[in-house]
Amino acid sequence: DISFFLMLTCSFCWLAARISSNVTLPCLVQHSSGMMSFGSNGMRVKWTKLGADESLDEDVLTSMGFHKKSYGRFEDRVFLQDTHDEDASLVITDVSMDDMGRYRCEVINGMEDTIQEVTLGVLDNISVVFPYSPPVGRYNLNFHEAEQACLDQDAVVASFDQLYEAWRGGLDWCNAGWLSDGTVQYPITKPREPCGGANAVAGLRNYGLRDKDTSLFDVFCFASALKGHFYWLVQPERLTYDEAVQACLDDDAEIAKVGHMFAAWKLQGYDRCDAGWLADGSVRYPISTPRKNCSPTEAAVRFIGFPDKSQKLYGVYCFKAQQ
């Protein structure tokens, strides 16, 4: 009964890079059959970063024969990948937030012209978006409860832009959650049958605006950089939930919240293959380096569940706020 529509229809012409990394913007020249190849040194290539209108376009790089030139803030930071004759792909090194935007590649190769555009997203390293469902199970939060659920994790309800950026960074989640604008959406990077269709393109699936009092969904929360220290409490025994809370207090800390674990995992690469209690009564562990028996296929915060709080099977993650 719930319909969705695709926010984004272009799954190929954008890509995301992490801040400070190197990224390659693809631009491949198609030769019609019989055309003679001039080689990359015979091509004239021009890369431009597109502004809101033409007067705001920025030159990035031009190449003609052996003569190559980069411009402005791209100077000495960009070069052509040049792996083969038809390759006019651009490498940008040390990516910054300002590099985010749309780029155009123009190639004149003999008689042929090629124009391609690619959009670059840049992922900051100062925030994280994560899905949250409460102990009673998924699809149990109205909008107001969703706001409180994120606050309880030291986070806030994510905005559309924040979820969109997280999706560009690879977030894939098949349960719909509230966003701060009162819409309900979910991000899919690997299209599959139960999540809007195996043949649908990657994108944000949007259920639209929902009644904030009566509609029940999960929520996407947004947390920024940790203002404190997140850690696994080294201690000899496995603990009940109440013992876990006390163990952190005894260490001059508090039991960590879900937002703390996601922030430590995403922003600091925190990695620990031990399941531990968190403040909401859930048990999770953060894996940055996928490996056998931990999280073999992907870096992720693994979720064990909301076990019976008297179970003595787990350790605990603590958080010490900055003084």
Ligand X SMILES: *[C@@H]1O[C@H](CO)[C@@H](O)[C@H](O)[C@H]1NC(C)=O
Task: Give residues in contact with ligand X (CB under 6 A).
Answer: 19-22, 93, 125-126, 225, 267
248 phi and psi angles, rounded to 5 deg? -70, -45
**323: amino acid identity, one letter:** Q
CB of 91 to ligand X, least distance (A): 7
C-alpha 323/C-alpha 317 separation (Å) is 19
C-alpha 90/C-alpha 26 separation (Å) is 7
Identify whether the C-beta of residue 150 lies closer than 8 Å to the C-beta of residue 222. Answer: yes
The DSSP-derived string for 203-220 is: EEEEEEE--TTT--BEEE
CB of 12 to ligand X, least distance (A): 24
Nearer to ligand X, 126 or 273 (CB): 126
Please list the residues that pair with 6 across neighbouring strands. Answer: 205
Nearer to ligand X, 64 or 225 (CB): 225
Integer angstrom CA distances of residue 149 from 302, 318, 320: 19, 19, 21
Nearer to ligand X, 7 or 225 (CB): 225
Nearer to ligand X, 10 or 126 (CB): 126
CB of 223 to ligand X, least distance (A): 12
CB of 156 to ligand X, least distance (A): 18
Alpha helices in 153-270 (DSSP H): 160-168, 241-250, 258-268
CB of 21 to ligand X, least distance (A): 5
Nearer to ligand X, 11 or 93 (CB): 93
Backbone region of residue 139 per phi and psi (left: phi > 0; alpha: psi in -120 to 50; beta: other values): left
Nearer to ligand X, 75 or 274 (CB): 75
Nearer to ligand X, 21 or 30 (CB): 21
Identify whether the C-beta of residue 131 lies closer than 8 Å to the C-beta of residue 174. Answer: no
CB of 230 to ligand X, least distance (A): 12
Identify whether the C-beta of residue 156 lies closer than 8 Å to the C-beta of residue 221. Answer: yes
CB of 229 to ligand X, least distance (A): 13
